[in-house]
């Protein structure tokens, strides 16, 4: 019997501060109509000073563990691109604060596709007998990386965290993950990028070591140093949009073929929540009714690695997901990276995202 990851707990959270389109319109050259019609977003939540990604991750994981009815855990994987520190990883501190004991805990950095990658990593650990019960968390605080002058990124991103508890089980159980498809293309790494804060953009006090923009080591040494703006996320939105539609559509189709499901078998699509137009276009490519696509971004924006578990928690809390229904997850983000996963929905209880 193949050891299969089975979903037994789900939880999520968003920080309390709501930032609506009106608030952004007061300081940026944008307006509620543009944001709603071009993205589908009406508001998002931003963490306040003193709140880090690890804090959101702890609350989401606590809720997922409660939903799972407690029990031991022997691995925690945190998908994030906005960790508490460059080193160490954020996951061990999250596991410690949850009182999970001296377990394996590590971060996975795959931008908005991170949660699907973390799920696949957990599935591999379970299948290989390395872990029995794994907490998988997606958490990001992109509000700390937003250039206050950049209307393109400011309107899209929100902060949040979502978590699942998986246990080793059998493929025919409700909650069983049916399969994965993962992919990436680093030739487009500049489409969504935080230029500074890593080893390529050294921050010597005299300014030496700033990369020259070629992305090659021989560019090191140019004067200028790392400025505040290099710590902000830059995004070529239109190009990302095109890749996102293409890759999520193709990855979903590949996965369905691999596991022998057809588009008409899918009850719900839980896709990365970046832009409602992307979600509707992907549904169209797959031949799935738009009404089957979970929409949560209208209230939380693009929460990056948190967006799929947040959307699922919101839908489950509002009674939209019924046990036995088939759910397709698909995500796309910086890297470029993408991935899809599928499962049959289990009989689990969750509390509201904002509760």
Residues that are catalytic: 112, 272, 302
Rounded CA gap, 296 and 80, in Å? Answer: 19
Q: For residues 183 and 338, is the Cβ–Cβ distance under 8 A?
A: yes
Q: For residues 175 and 4, is the Cβ–Cβ distance under 8 A?
A: no
Which residues neighbour 60 within 8 Å (Cβ) at sequence distance 6 or greater? Answer: 11, 12, 13, 137, 139, 160, 161, 162, 163, 306, 309
Site for ligand ACO in 262-301 (CB under 6 A): 274-275
Site for ligand ACO in 163-202 (CB under 6 A): 192
Which residue stretch of 127-135, 148-156, 216-224, 291-299 sits at the interface with ligand ACO (rule: CB under 6 A)?
148-156
What's the chain's length in residues?
A: 355
The distance of closest approach from Cβ of residue 181 to ligand ACO in the complex, given in angstroms and rounded to an integer, is 18
The distance of closest approach from Cβ of residue 112 to ligand ACO in the complex, given in angstroms and rounded to an integer, is 4
Q: Determine which residue in the list 175, 333, 339, 346 makes contact with ligand ACO, applying CB under 6 A.
A: 333
Of 67 and 302, which has the nearer Cβ to ligand ACO?
A: 302
Q: Determine which residue in the list 96, 127, 146, 235 makes contact with ligand ACO, applying CB under 6 A.
A: 235
Binding mask 26-65 for ligand ACO (x = CB under 6 A): ----x---xx--xx--------------------------
237 binds ligand ACO (CB under 6 A): yes
Using CA of residue 119, residue 187, residue 154, residue 278, what is the dihedral sign? negative
DSSP code string of 262-325:
-GGG-SEEEE--S-HHHHHHHHHHHT--GGGB---HHHH-B-GGGHHHHHHHHHHHTT---TT-
Q: For residues 158 and 299, is the Cβ–Cβ distance under 8 A?
A: no
Number of H helices, E strands in the chain: 10, 13
Of 159 and 346, which has the nearer Cβ to ligand ACO?
A: 159
339 binds ligand ACO (CB under 6 A): no
Binding mask 98-127 for ligand ACO (x = CB under 6 A): -------------xx---------------
The distance of closest approach from Cβ of residue 33 to ligand ACO in the complex, given in angstroms and rounded to an integer, is 9
Rounded CA gap, 97 and 326, in Å? Answer: 34
Q: Determine which residue in the list 21, 53, 252, 304 makes contact with ligand ACO, applying CB under 6 A.
A: 304
Q: How far is CA 89 from CA 76, 154, 323, 335, in A?
A: 12, 26, 35, 19
Q: For residues 183 and 251, is the Cβ–Cβ distance under 8 A?
A: yes
**Matching residue, tokens 């078998």:** 265
Of 238 and 260, which has the nearer Cβ to ligand ACO?
A: 238
241 binds ligand ACO (CB under 6 A): yes
148 binds ligand ACO (CB under 6 A): no
DSSP-assigned beta bridge partners for residue 330: 271, 340
The distance of closest approach from Cβ of residue 242 to ligand ACO in the complex, given in angstroms and rounded to an integer, is 9
Of 51 and 234, which has the nearer Cβ to ligand ACO?
A: 234
What does the binding site for ligand ACO look like in residue numbers (CB under 6 A)?
30, 34-35, 38-39, 111-112, 151-152, 155-156, 192, 235, 237-238, 240-241, 244, 274-275, 302, 304, 333-334
């Amino acid at each position: 019997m193949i050891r299969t990851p089975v979903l037994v707990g789900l939880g999520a959270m968003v920080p309390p501060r709501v930032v609506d389109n009106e608030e952004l319109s007061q300081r940026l050259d944008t307006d509620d109509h543009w944001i709603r019609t071009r993205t589908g977003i009406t508001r998002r939540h931003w963490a306040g000073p003193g709140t880090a990604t690890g804090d959101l991750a702890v609350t989401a994981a606590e809720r997922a563990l409660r939903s799972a009815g407690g029990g031991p855990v022997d691995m925690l994987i945190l998908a994030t691109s906005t960790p508490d520190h460059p080193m160490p990883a954020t996951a061990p501190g999250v596991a410690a604060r949850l009182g999970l004991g001296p377990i394996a805990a590590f971060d996975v950095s795959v931008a908005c596709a991170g949660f699907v990658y973390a799920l696949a990593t957990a599935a591999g650990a379970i299948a290989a007998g390395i872990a029995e019960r794994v907490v998988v968390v997606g958490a990001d605080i992109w509000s700390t990386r937003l250039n206050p002058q950049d209307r393109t990124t400011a309107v899209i991103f929100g902060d949040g965290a979502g978590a699942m508890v998986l246990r080793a089980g059998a493929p025919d159980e409700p909650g069983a993950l049916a399969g994965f498809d993962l992919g990436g293309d680093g030739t487009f790494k500049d489409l969504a990028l935080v230029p500074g804060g890593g080893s390529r953009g050294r921050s010597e006090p005299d300014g030496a070591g700033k990369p020259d923009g070629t992305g090659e080591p021989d560019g090191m040494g140019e004067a200028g140093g790392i400025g505040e703006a290099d710590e902000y996320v830059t995004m070529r939105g239109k190009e990302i949009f095109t890749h996102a539609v293409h890759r999520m559509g193709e990855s979903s189709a590949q996965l369905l073929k691999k596991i022998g499901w057809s588009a008409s078998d899918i009850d719900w699509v839980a896709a990365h929540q970046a832009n409602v137009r992307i979600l509707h276009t992907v549904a169209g490519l797959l031949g799935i009714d738009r009404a089957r696509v979970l929409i949560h971004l209208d209230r939380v924006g693009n929460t990056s690695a948190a967006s799929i578990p947040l959307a699922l928690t919101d839908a489950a809390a509002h009674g939209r997901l019924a046990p036995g229904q088939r759910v397709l997850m698909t995500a796309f983000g910086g890297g470029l990276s993408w991935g899809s996963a599928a499962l049959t929905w289990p009989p689990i209880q969750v509390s509201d995202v904002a509760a």
